[in-house]
Amino acid sequence: MRRYLFRGRNMALIVKKFGGSSVATTEKIMNVAKRVLSEKQPGDQIVMVVSAMGDTTDDLITLANGITKDPYQYAREMDMLLTTGEQVSIALLAMAFKSLGQPAISLTGPMAGMRTDSVHTKGRIKDIQPKRVHEELDKGNIVVVAGFQGADEIGDLVTLGRGGSDTSAVALAGALKADSCEIYTDVDGVYSADPRIVKNARKMKEITYYEMLEMARLGAGVMQPRSVEMGKYFNIPIHVRSTFTNKPGTIIREDYTMEDKDFVIRGVAHDEKVAKIAVLGIPNTPGIAHEIFSALAEANIDVDMIVQSIRNIEKNVTDMVFTVATDDLAQAKKVVDKVADKLNAIAVLIEEDVAKVSIVGAGMLGNPGIAARMFGALSKAQINIDIISTSEISISCLVKGSQLKEAVNAIHDEFFPAKA
Amino acid sequence: MRRYLFRGRNMALIVKKFGGSSVATTEKIMNVAKRVLSEKQPGDQIVMVVSAMGDTTDDLITLANGITKDPYQYAREMDMLLTTGEQVSIALLAMAFKSLGQPAISLTGPMAGMRTDSVHTKGRIKDIQPKRVHEELDKGNIVVVAGFQGADEIGDLVTLGRGGSDTSAVALAGALKADSCEIYTDVDGVYSADPRIVKNARKMKEITYYEMLEMARLGAGVMQPRSVEMGKYFNIPIHVRSTFTNKPGTIIREDYTMEDKDFVIRGVAHDEKVAKIAVLGIPNTPGIAHEIFSALAEANIDVDMIVQSIRNIEKNVTDMVFTVATDDLAQAKKVVDKVADKLNAIAVLIEEDVAKVSIVGAGMLGNPGIAARMFGALSKAQINIDIISTSEISISCLVKGSQLKEAVNAIHDEFFPAKA
């Protein structure tokens, strides 16, 4: 960690984010305060970013449901309601520090200078002016900031949507030019594969922003992509670590330090929530891909893996196969059926027992044999590959859903062999 | 009610304040919204001021007690915590209006322009800049404002202390130049005496600010003095009325309209929480009153009724008798014992079975017989008067606590005879 001299002292500015389960009770809040103080180095400046206590947000939504079935239609008022959750946490955590003799002060998102757009319940950070945060740090306070929230131009409260507290923390770390941003979670880092599926999954010491983003896009749930993007934008190292232990976790950063360059790939990601749609026997004329996918785009449905293959070269008839998220399947089917009719397709087939397994790693760029090793591992395990797609730093295979666990393990064993 | 023309329409601007018990559940919040809409005249502009739901404030204090035994020592953080209570209510009430088809918007105290000093948990309003409130009213919204709160110069949240929501409502009505401020409570107005004690107590149609302040000072609990002072300052009529009925309540204003001038006194107030202290047999030299009462003032103890009487004119020895609030008695006794020792007093006697009964009315100013009628009524009921004190618009008598109920009724019967 970069440490700098300030008023003659060697000190660091660290942003630490604790989620809702870490502050679910007053006892847990006291534990967070004690833990932070036990790790604090003399002269360190610390900014805490916290979420609402445990189920508070759900409780507030239940209250709103007592007024109306669909409270989110009143998005501005939902933000007015939901922002109280973090406000309660920050007040209590600041009290906890003070009761332990540590000067501390709580600031709401707006007080900390978090300026957002006006898209209520799904706001995006536009600008951060953390003048007050600096002032309070300079007075010797630990500054406790409400995550997940900011204010728009006219001062209305806006929440940041899913993963918002992580985004708050990383963005604030960026604006403060912090030395690092620590995200405390119930997992202790980023693993080479989901530890619930792969027994030998390894905790990575480091991973790049790009790789983490690709892992998240391909199904790994540790960090929301927005906060990783924010880290990349500000070039702030994000340390993902456990609430429950003192062990180091995984640092998401621009590039590796030497020691951690051992593996050409960083992880095996998987996604079970995919479905395959095949439009069979359509005339292979210019514009048919456009016809299908623009109809889906209009319906706001993301299409992922796409394969076009020739069914009958003499009749110039082709098949179009692609995947969508399971959640979008029903609507996608409707859209595709209509287009297929128009194109005189032979049939539209749906397959739901599919899953996507992917490898991610910036190292594969200069290593041409990686794809072959992945396919080989699947082949050796008797797993058939349905569709293949690639990006700059990832390769994905669509396999049978029932074979997913086997597939993830086979690939993981290939790239992360068990230590002898 | 004064009604004025605005953009060619006959309209009124009304501030309505609902307390915590009126918004204790989402069902009650819906009822408040429905009631307000049912009474709303076309073109009326309405500002709602609401408190936290039911026991919310107590629940938040309980949470804080989970962190520390004395959370109020961290007053700024308590304000950060407690202000969430009203924020929840305003969001839900705004949703309730919207779900009934009425455009509405919630504003926190600071958003509504409530500027306070920085005395956390006991803040006072310094200034109100209700620009946003006017803007939202002009858009056709019912504006729902969080009571009990504001922000200080640096934007920190400050609560107003006891009765704060009433004060918010009246002050906001003043700053908005509202036509009236309606305070909805669980009583339906201001009575000529406590209806729990006097069966024939009458609801007053009107009462002046001065009289209401004097009633409050002398024990009547309907309105906190601060909000009445605020109404007087802005000359805003305060309509105290019931949450549960549509009947008119009592209007607190500068002066009466003709019809309601029937009674020379406005009410009979009483206070059971008083105790009498008698310092007997002290030398009647200049400065002894100063000696006793400056010692009490230093200990921050309010002294109420004071009588000095000659015990022995030859020895020039005197008795000093006065009352204090029961809550202050223990400390007052300590202070007085010390002074009495110094003055070689014969004894210090304490009497706790005392109570104060008072009559209040601006009408007594030009009516010299009022005091005599009060004493006569007590005498006829065989009630002994211990101490008498008077102000411009009130007369108070100290009586035996066990005779208080009788005393209040005797005086009330004298001035408010039962209708034939």
**C-alpha dihedral (B174, B176, B180, B182), degrees to nearest 10:** -90
Q: What is the pLDDT of residues A29-75, one digit of tens each?
A: 999 999 999 999 988 999 999 999 999 999 999 999 999 999 999 99
Q: CB-CB: which of B63, B90, B155 is closest to A80?
A: B90
Q: What is the pLDDT of residues A214-242, one digit of tens each?
A: 998 898 878 888 899 999 999 999 999 99
Contacts of A24 in chain B (CB under 8 A): none
**Do the Cβ atoms of B88 and A63 come closer than 8 Å?**
yes
Phi, then psi, of A281 in degrees rounded to 5: 65, 60
pLDDT above 90: residue A112: yes
Phi, then psi, of B237 in degrees rounded to 5: -60, 130
**Do the Cβ atoms of B321 and B387 come closer than 8 Å?**
yes
B170-205: b (≥16 Cβ within 10 Å) or e: bbbbbbbebbbbbbbbebbbbbbbbeebbeebbbbb
Distance of alpha carbon A239 from alpha carbon A185, whole angstroms: 10
Distance of alpha carbon B195 from alpha carbon B198, whole angstroms: 5
Residue to test with chain B: of A74, A100, A121, A129, most B Cβ within 10 A: A74
Residue to test with chain B: of A77, A99, A102, A107, most B Cβ within 10 A: A77
| Model pLDDT, residue B312 | 78
CA distances from A56 to A23, A25, A59, B25 (A): 11, 11, 5, 17
**Do the Cβ atoms of B277 and B352 come closer than 8 Å?**
no
Asked if A87 and B84 come within 8 Å (Cβ–Cβ), the reply is: yes
Q: What is the number of alpha carbons within 13 Å of residue B137 lying toward its C-beta?
A: 22
Instruction: Report chain B's C-alpha Rg in angstroms.
Output: 24
Centroid of chain to Cα B263:
22
Q: CB-CB: which of A25, A27, A106 is closest to B77?
A: A106
| Model pLDDT, residue B293 | 92
**Do the Cβ atoms of A215 and A361 come closer than 8 Å?**
no
- β-strands A125-128, A114-116: how paired? antiparallel
Q: Which residue has the higher pLDDT, A256 or A177?
A: A177
**C-alpha dihedral (B196, B198, B200, B205), degrees to nearest 10:** -70
Q: Please enumerate residues of A whose Cβ is less than 8 A from a Cβ of B.
A: 25-27, 29-30, 60, 63-64, 66-68, 71, 74, 76-78, 80-81, 83-84, 87-88, 90-92, 94-96, 98-99, 105-106, 108, 111, 132, 154-156
| Model pLDDT, residue B97 | 98
Q: 10 Å Cβ neighbour count for A317?
A: 17
**B68: nearest CA partner in chain A:** A99
Q: CB-CB: which of A64, A99, A132 is closest to B95?
A: A64
Q: What is the pLDDT of residues A142-174, one digit of tens each?
A: 999 999 999 999 999 999 977 789 999 999 999
Q: Is B256 annotated as a binding residue?
A: no
- Name which of A182, A110, A202 is nearest A148 in CA terms: A110
| Model pLDDT, residue A4 | 47
Spans of chain B, pLDDT less than 70: 1-10, 258-262, 420
B71-90: b (≥16 Cβ within 10 Å) or e: beebbbbbbbbbbbbbbbbb
Q: Which domains does chain B have, with CATH numbers?
A: 4-185 (3.40.1160.10), 268-415 (3.30.2130.10)
Distance from CA of B74 to the nearest CA of A (A): 7
Q: Which residue has the higher pLDDT, A319 or A9?
A: A319
Q: CB-CB: which of B27, B29, B88 is closest to A84?
A: B88
Contacts of B74 in chain A (CB under 8 A): 94-95, 98-99
Residue whose token pair is 């609990």: B221
Contacts of B66 in chain A (CB under 8 A): 25-27, 92
Q: What is the pLDDT of residues A127-147, one digit of tens each?
A: 999 999 999 999 999 999 999
Contacts of A94 in chain B (CB under 8 A): 74, 77, 80
pTM of the model: 0.85
Distance from CA of B16 to the nearest CA of A (A): 20
Distance from CA of A74 to the nearest CA of B (A): 7
DSSP per position, B325-389: EGGGHHHHHHHHHHHHHHTT-SEEEEEEEEEEEEEE-GGGGG-TTHHHHHHHHHHHTT----EEE
Q: 10 Å Cβ neighbour count for B154?
A: 9
SS (H, E, C) B42-68: CCCEEEEEECCCCCHHHHHHHHHHCCC
Average pLDDT for chain A: 91
Averaged pLDDT for residues A247-256: 91
Q: What is the pLDDT of residues A291-339, one digit of tens each?
A: 899 999 999 898 989 888 877 778 888 899 999 999 999 999 999 999 9
Two tokens, residue A262: 């051992």
Instruction: Report chain A's C-alpha Rg in angstroms.
Output: 24
Distance of alpha carbon B26 from alpha carbon A350, whole angstroms: 45
**Do the Cβ atoms of B256 and B336 come closer than 8 Å?**
no
Q: Is B244 annotated as a binding residue?
A: no
Q: Please enumerate residues of B whose Cβ is less than 8 A from a Cβ of A.
A: 25-27, 29-30, 60, 63-64, 66-68, 71, 74, 76-78, 80-81, 83-84, 87-88, 90-92, 94-96, 98-99, 105-106, 108, 111, 132, 154-156
Asked if A26 and B67 come within 8 Å (Cβ–Cβ), the reply is: yes
Distance from CA of A162 to the nearest CA of B (A): 21
Q: CB-CB: which of A64, A87, A156 is closest to B92?
A: A64
Two tokens, residue B330: 């223990």
- Name which of B328, B349, B326 is nearest B337 in CA terms: B349
Which residues are A145's β-sheet partners?
Answer: A49, A107
pLDDT above 50: residue A8: no
Distance of alpha carbon B347 from alpha carbon A315, whole angstroms: 122
**Do the Cβ atoms of B268 and B301 come closer than 8 Å?**
no
Asked if A78 and B91 come within 8 Å (Cβ–Cβ), the reply is: yes
Distance of alpha carbon A113 from alpha carbon B63, whole angstroms: 27
Distance of alpha carbon B304 from alpha carbon B299, whole angstroms: 15
DSSP annotation of B405? H
Asked if B71 and A95 come within 8 Å (Cβ–Cβ), the reply is: yes
- β-strands A180-185, A206-208: how paired? unpaired
Residue to test with chain A: of B60, B80, B136, most A Cβ within 10 A: B80
Q: What is the pLDDT of residues A369-388, one digit of tens each?
A: 899 999 999 999 999 999 99
Contacts of B77 in chain A (CB under 8 A): 91-92, 94-95, 98, 105-106
- Burial degree of B400 (CB within 10 A; 0-12, 13-18, 19+): middle
Distance of alpha carbon B228 from alpha carbon B234, whole angstroms: 10
| Model pLDDT, residue B308 | 83
**Do the Cβ atoms of A263 and A361 come closer than 8 Å?**
yes
Contacts of B91 in chain A (CB under 8 A): 64, 77-78, 80-81
Asked if A98 and B74 come within 8 Å (Cβ–Cβ), the reply is: yes
Asked if A92 and B67 come within 8 Å (Cβ–Cβ), the reply is: yes
- Name which of B61, B56, B46, B48 is nearest B21 in CA terms: B56
Q: Is B196 annotated as a binding residue?
A: yes
DSSP annotation of B192? S
| Model pLDDT, residue A2 | 46
Q: What is the ipTM of this complex?
A: 0.84
- Burial degree of B4 (CB within 10 A; 0-12, 13-18, 19+): exposed
**B75: nearest CA partner in chain A:** A95
Distance from CA of A51 to the nearest CA of B (A): 14
Distance of alpha carbon A183 from alpha carbon B383, whole angstroms: 74
Q: CB-CB: which of A25, A67, A92 is closest to B81?
A: A92
| Model pLDDT, residue A339 | 93
- Name which of A56, A45, A47 is nearest A83 in CA terms: A56
| Model pLDDT, residue A156 | 98
CA distances from B85 to A360, B91, B264 (A): 47, 10, 43
Under DSSP, is residue B160 helix (H, G, I), strand (E, B) or coil? Answer: coil
